[in-house]
């Protein structure tokens, strides 16, 4: 999964947990960078 530019280019999928998973992934990435 690409992080750069993927946040706004991501297509709107009918999955209710999709945005939550992306948000969680972003948080883990930020935590990992710190």
Q: How do residues 3-33 score in pLDDT, each as one tens digit?
A: 555 555 556 555 666 778 888 888 888 888 6
Distance CA 11, CA 31 (A): 25
Query: Residue 1: what pLDDT?
Result: 52
Q: What is the pLDDT of residue 32?
A: 80
Q: What is the reported pLDDT for 25?
A: 86
Residues making up the chain, counted from first to last = 34
């Amino acid at each position: 999964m690409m992080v750069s530019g993927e946040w706004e280019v991501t297509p709107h999928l009918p999955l209710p947990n999709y945005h939550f998973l992306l948000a969680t992934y972003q948080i883990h990435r930020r935590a990992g960078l710190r």
